[in-house]
Structure 1
Amino acid sequence: LMISLSLLEPNKTPFTPLVVMELAEDTNEEAVTWLTSRIKDTQQSGGAELMIDRLTLDDNQDPKKENQNIFIVGASRERLLVGAEDVGLVKEFNDGSMRGFTYANRENFKGFQGDGDNFLSMAECQFIVKHELDTLRARGETHVPGYPKIRLYPGKSVVRRIQSKGILVQIFPLHDKEELKRLSSMWYQNVQLSFQPLDDIRHYFGESLALYFGFLEYFTLAMVPMALIGMPYYLFDWEDYDKYVLFAVFNLVWSTVFLETWKRFSASLAYSWGTLSRKKAFEEPRPGFHGVLGINPVTGRQEPVYSSTKRQLRIYLVSVPFVLLCLYLSLCVMMVYFSAEGLVLGLHDEEPTFWTSLLLYVPSIIYAVVIEIMNRIYRYAAEFLTDWENHRLESSYQNHLTLKVLVFNFLNCFASLFYIAFMMQDMQLLRQSLATLLITSQILNQFVEAFLPFWLQKRRNKRVHRRSGKVSPDQELPFDQQVMLEADMSTYLGTFDDYLELFLLFGYVSLFSCVYPLAALLAVLNNVTEVYSDALKMCRVFKRPFSEPGADIGVWQLAFESMSVIAVVTNCALIGMSPQMKSYFPDSETQLILVVATVEHVFLAFKFILAFVIPDVPRHIQIKLARVEFESMEALKKKAVGNRPAPVPDLTKEKA
């Protein structure tokens, strides 16, 4: 998509628009001039060697109402190919293997024809531009021009610095309307029983997002056997709790096999996408990281440093007590729920009518709504605390945030179920509570995550179309209006909330589905709607996120595996509580506990043996990776031999 010259400043060369940078409206013009010149400077001069132009609004726009500091960034074809080598892009070689792309060897890669116009996808080009902007480093500047109080550190990222100080409001990649329309038509617009187009999703949104949708699909398909087995149990053996022992055993095996086979499937996907063997880049500090000026011991560059002792004090003296306080409040809310449950049950026992029977579900519904509200409030608090802890790296920040959120969500969502199951030992109430939590949380999530954002975005679209004089939403907007529309869209904050929802769903199914066999069926229905609602959000509601390379689902794999271990303990305990098991040990409860503990250890041993026996990466992929590594080592050896100095002649032997 070539930008029309009328939308850019005069006498500018048109280029393919890739990324939008929006600066604050009151940004000093001196800073704007300095930043744009640094972006356009050659790499030899320390610049990014990219193309950038200010977006010029059409005559219908009021300059006083619109931000004039919006810039379009792109790059030449050669610059993108060189950048592909810099970011470590892995592509398919002519011999079928996956190798790191090199500009010098570009013609030996599959799909490279002519000048390589279509060799890189738009998402890859946008990722390269974002990488080059992030690695644009300060040189001799001591501060941002026009802002003497905003210091610059030599060798540190300029873009990250101005982003943390509010000069850079946002940076996002542009949608490709034609490609997006094609992806939408085969992804979510037509309801059909088929697999998702994961390769097309990866091509447009990147590997990390494609892996999420791949996991969502794999998880849904894996639950189909559980749902098919659970329906007969629910329909014919609802009151016969003894029969659920077999279902619990199947549940234990299922959770282990599902996670192990997923790792193999994700490795196959990552290899075909070139991320399994991709080298991780050196991680730069987060934009929000701050500290006193010091020296990085690894790079030797000046950058802000922050004492790890202070960070640990903040974590253990503030964050941990706060999390414990939130857990305590969650338990207090749970006890209020049980009090309300007992009150309603008493009313029903006194006067059993149709209305009092309906009233039995009210406390569970209210409690489910309260759980969702508490989870969302706590999420904001956890983000604030993790920001305050001042983690240097994004990976460390995400790990600490994930741990805080998972601990609270686990207790908040499952504490009442554990209490009912093992303290009250009321299986009827456990079934009712689990069903209510599942159904209510699914309805709320679909409303908050899909319907509400989509409704708000439709209102934005209508407003932009009216402003541009377009009556029908189907009419194509001018380029400048499309950019303004995308700039006003909600920002996609990543897959954290999506994985968290699947994690809780996996917990409901793996922990207690033996007493409520319809849990798997409800989860399957939820995931099917989740595929379409998430696809709709990504294509119509959110800004296009930058492509992020990913070889697996990261820390969430560990989270799901931890939940499966807890599921072993929970299901074994539920088996031990069944009347069928108690009938075998009528006189000795100690023997029953010992038998249940033994069975639990056997299942745990089976789980870990199965995880050890099933390799995470299929053998044929291991062979391909080993072959490429061997060839690389051989090439390095030949290069080293070729660079050796000529041997010194032995003059003694010549005289002899």
Structure 2
Amino acid sequence: MMATRKTSGDGDSNLLVEDQEDGGSLDSQEWYSSHGPEEEDDKMNYFTDGKTQIDFVLVWETWRDLSCEQPYRKRQKYFECLEKFGLDMEEHSFQEKGDTLHFMLLSAPWPVLCYFAEEMSMRVPLQTSPAQFSPWLSQVLNKLSIPNMLQENVPKQPPETFTCPFKNSKLSRYPGSENHATFFTNTQRHQILYEILACAPYGNSRRGEVGMERLLCEKVLSAAYPLHDGTYAHTPGTPSEQLFLRQILFQYWARWSKWNKYQPLDHIRKYYGEKIALYFAWLGVYTGWLLPASLVGMFVFIMGFIVMINDIPTTEVCNSKGLYIMCPVCKICPNWNLSSVCAHYRAGVLVDQPGTLFFSIFMSIWAVTFLEYWKRFNAKLTYRWDCFQLHEIEEHPRPEFTVLAPLTIQNPITGIEEPYFPESRRLRRMLTGSMAILLMIAVVFMFLISIILYRVIICLLVAKSGNESLVSSARRIASITGSVVNLCCILVLSKVYISLALLLTRWEMHRTQTAYEDALTFKVFLFQFVNYYSTPIYIAFFKGRFVGYPGHYNTLFRIRNEDCDPGGCLIELAQEMLVIMVGKQILNNITEFVIPKVQLWWLNRRLSKVKTEENPWERDYKLIRCNGLFDEYLEMVIQFGFITIFVAACPLAPFFALLNNWIEVRLDAQKFVCEYRRPVAERARGIGIWMSILEVITCIAVVSNAFLVAFTSDFLPRTYYQYFVNGDLTGYINFTLAKSPAHYTENHTLCRYRAFRDSDGNLTLDYWNLMAIRLAFVIVFEHVVFLLARMIDFMVPDIPESVEIKVKRENFLAKQALAENESLAHFLGVNTSLVLRSRHDPSMGFASMQNFTGEQHTM
């Protein structure tokens, strides 16, 4: 059984805006015929009258065992408040045997849209022009008359617009303003409804009983979402002109067969907003830049095989037989022959070879160049999408902050009274929260020490087994199993900390959504940096450094400190990277593929007991709520850290990242198009604080690679021996092995161990010479790379000069467009087309536009 209820605004909406001449309402057929297929929406996304467009849907469930009077009263008060805002409302209920599912359809009338559009400084077009943007590769290939295999013609290309903030008093100046049904886009209508729903109270405002998000947390509402534009599937053979925008995104973006095509960024922006579109733009650019890094990494790795075959020290190790008797790894362990680790030593040469230095420098420069390119590409995108000055003129306080802030203060720029939270109180809360962060970081170090002890104990147990093949692989077995255990600990700690970080960030009361997200991002990344990178940092820079020597071994909890693998610490670091980075990527991809489908199955199964009709609002309710892009960014930034900070140990890391990102783009696209409810579009100027984090990671990567090559790799000891000791690498193994002191009587035999010490255990002159060379190398490496980075940064401006000029010019013309003088408005009508042409014609600079306007004044 279905019951419906229709309510509308009671007239209070007339107080929101000036009286406007009614433009009339079009029925569905008239709207489609007049507006054209480019803005066509799902024909079912309307009230039962077929004319009132559905802008938002609220859902609640009243099962027999969960019915309660208090949620009912809160909902009624909330709906009464929405009616006072002037919203049109229509309720649909589906019931069977006492179990009821309710849908409240919401629509904002024209006066309400106008009022909130002005309050939100919503940008509307003054003039449109067909989009003519194309990637730089397409431009180069077109000049060379070479077809671009990545390019694809996507139908219904959104036009490029010249926009300005909406002013209700200047309504007649905007083209298309006479058609109230289509003047504001779907995403703009969603944004307006979200603003209303987030600010509408349902109880005592001082207790925070305000807004849709609070009702969702209290389970008074089950869901709140805007509707998708139809289904993503379409009938085969349907002309592209008749496809909905969601169907276009599925057909030309979300399908696996489109892995080698450009993403339709303008279509993504039109449907999901700038924030989501910029994420996919950044992910696409990052994935594209991984291709050259992967090719160079594979070349270096292949070169490692050639070096390994002809490597003199490797041959010495494998042919040593019983020449080098090595000291035992524990008191009760036997001595062992160096030749037994021949395979391990060969594997170490694959990553520890001369190409390591070249690849470290290459990846450091690659990271800097990639970020500079993204800054410029981001500036061009935000200019095209009218977000270039977003933070300066448009960002408003968060609805939650507006409600819970205890004070108000006059905005020095706008002169408007705004909610205010004292900065001193926020700082005190942030300091208190930092104590929780430090506590969680301490927990990470406790787990790190536990993993170290675990590896030592496993190594001892394997070494005591008596099996010669197992004894020679004791360190490798302990290292691999320790990496798997470490990955499990990392994933568990991540889930716990993210929940804590969300709670602390809400408590800090940040004014804007950007400030809130930046604070949350900083907290989570600081912890995740320690969580994910602590073990690789330990292996790269600390493991094997504090072992001691026979007769004077250092201990941790009475257990001898662990030493590096016979093949070197670099091969262990490569293994740790592959287990953590690749293992995490595989688990994430499986999770992103399986969990949404399980959630969809469970939600549909739970709702199967209620007989419903296949309406758009019910169809979208059976989808999953989108929780934003935080997890997506975090995953990619952690990956970026692995392939830059520790890339010297694993040249194949960029290749594995490239494979993952090709899959990640399509998985994320399918989630948004097919499995998620439509999120409310958000505007953004860039990727936010993630950009600053990437820059910090790049600087850390330069320092890290310098120390990896200098202290962890064998590159400098080999070079020192070859050029200052012997002339070639013959005898290098004997050079690096010290003899146990004469008074060392453990196991009653003399043995060898890896160190630059004399027979008394004292450091030799070669050790101090190498230390000086290593420190000098670090200084030279850092200065050269940072100098090159600064030169790139200086020569390549973050914002193209043409974009800066066009932004200033458009700001001037926007003021002209809204002037009272009709002659100026006519003057603008000529010049806006000039601005739009200047977007696509780099040769048309500021001077040429000045000349043009001067000619117009003389006419």
The verdict on a shared fold, with TM-score over 0.5 as the criterion, is yes
Relative to the length of structure 2, the TM-score reads 0.64
Secondary structure in 1 matching 2:400? coil
Which protein shows a greater Rg?
2
Q: Partners in 2 of 1:27 and 1:17 — Cα distance?
A: 28
Specify the alignment match of 2:831 in structure 1. none
Q: Does 1:401 align with 2:520?
A: yes
Name 1:629's counterpart in structure 2: 811
Query: Structure 1 residues 462, 353: CA separation in 2 closer, same or farther (over 3 Å shift)?
Result: farther
Compute the displacement of 1:157 (Å). Answer: 7.0
2:339 corresponds to 1:275? no
TM-score, normalised to structure 1's length? 0.82
Q: Given residue 522 of structure 1, which amino acid in structure 2 is its aligned partner?
A: F
**Residue of structure 2 equivalent to 1:533:** 667
Please state how far the C-alpha of 1:455 moved relative to its aligned partner: 1.9
Where does residue 292 of structure 2 map in the other structure?
A: 225
Number of the residue aligned with 1:210: 277
For 1:389, the equivalent position in structure 2 comes to 508
Task: Answer yes or no: is 1:16 the counterpart of 2:53.
Answer: yes
Distance 1:165 1:565 in 2: 44
Tell me, yes or no, if the aligned pair for 1:187 and 1:196 is still in contact at 8 Å. Answer: yes
2:591 matched residue in structure 1: 448
Aligned to 1:311: 426
Letter of the 2:228 counterpart:
H
Distance 2:508 2:803 in 1: 41
2:635 to 478, 501, 521: 501
Counting matched residue pairs gives: 606
1:51 is matched with: 88
Partner in structure 2 of residue 549 of structure 1: 683
**256 and 302 in structure 1: CA distance in 2 versus 1, 3 angstrom threshold:** closer
Aligned counterpart for 2:100 among listed residues 39, 62, 66: 66
Whether contact under 8 Å (1:8, 1:55) holds in the other structure is: yes
- Once residues 67 and 399 of structure 1 are traced to their aligned partners in structure 2, the CA distance between those partners, rounded to angstroms, is 38
Q: Measure the CA separation in 2 of the matches of 1:271 and 1:496.
A: 24
Matching residue of 1:201: 268
The structural deviation recorded for 1:549 is 0.6
Aligned: 1:75 with 2:108:
yes
Q: CA RMSD in A?
A: 3.7
How far residue 292 of structure 1 moved from its aligned partner, in angstroms, is: 7.7
User: Match for residue 147 of structure 2?
Assistant: none
2:543 alignment partner AA: M
**Deviation (angstroms), 1:515:** 1.6
Q: Gapped runs of 5+ residues in structure 1?
A: 42-46, 139-143, 470-476, 643-656
Q: Distance in 1 between matches of 2:710 and 2:819?
A: 62
**What is the Cα deviation at residue 233 of structure 1?**
1.8
1:44-95 superposed Cα distances (whole Å, 9 cap, x missing partner): xxx3x332222233xxx22732244x41111346754665454322536247
Given residue 202 of structure 1, which amino acid in structure 2 is its aligned partner?
Answer: R
| Alignment pair present for 1:244 and 2:278 | no
Deviations 1:418-442 (A, max 9, x none): 1111112611111111111112111
Question: Could you tell which deviates more after superposition, 369-378 or 594-603?
Answer: 594-603
Compared CA separation, residues 567 and 306, structure 1 to 2 (3 A)? same
Following the alignment from structure 1 to structure 2, what is the Cα–Cα distance between the partners of residues 544 and 638? 40
Structure 1 letter corresponding to 2:227: L
Cα separation, 2, equivalents of 1:251 and 1:226: 7
- Return the alpha-carbon distance in structure 2 between the equivalents of residues 212 and 321 of structure 1: 32
CA contact (8 A) 1:90 1:274 kept: no
Would you say the 8 A contact 2:455–2:479 is kept in 1?
yes
1:33/1:320 CA distance change after superposition, 3 Å: closer
Deviation at 1:97, TM superposition (A): 6.2
Q: 1:177 Cα shift? A: 2.1
Between the two proteins, what is the percent identity of the paired residues? 24
Aligned to 2:832: none
Distance 1:133 1:336, change over 3 A: closer
The answer (yes or no) to whether the contact 1:576–1:596 under 8 Å persists in 2 is: yes
- Deviations along 1:567-602, one digit per CA (max 9) or x if unpaired, are 111112223234333435862523531342243133
For structure 2, list consecutive stretches of 5 or more residues without a partner in the other structure. 9-47, 63-68, 130-159, 232-243, 305-349, 545-568, 725-765, 825-859
User: Does residue 376 of the first structure (1) align with residue 495 of the second (2)?
Assistant: yes
Q: CA deviation at 1:271?
A: 1.9
Q: Which residue identity is paired with 1:17?
A: I
What residue number does 2:445 align with?
331
The one of the two structures with greater contact order (alpha-carbon pairs below 8 A, sep at least 6) is 1
Query: Residue 424 of structure 1: SS of its match in structure 2?
Result: coil
Aligned residue in 2 for 1:174: 227
Give the aligned partner of residue 455 of structure 2. Answer: 341
2:265 is equivalent to residue 265 of structure 1: no
Show the counterpart of 2:797: 615
Deviation at 1:457, TM superposition (A): 0.9
SS at match of 2:257: coil
Shift of 1:414: 0.7
Q: 1:646 maps to what in 2?
A: none
Q: 1:444 to 1:30 in 2, by over 3 A?
A: closer
Against the structure 1 CA distance between its residues 288 and 612, is the aligned structure 2 distance closer, same or farther, given a 3 Å change threshold? same
Deviations 1:307-348 (A, max 9, x none): 5444333332x3222211211221121122222233444555
Which residues of 2 match residues 141-156 of structure 1 at below 5 A?
144=202, 151=206
| Aligned partner letter, 1:98 | F
Instruction: Say whether the 8 Å CA contact 1:19–1:171 is kept in structure 2.
Output: yes
User: What's 1:516 paired with?
Assistant: 650
| Residue type of the alignment partner of 2:614 | P
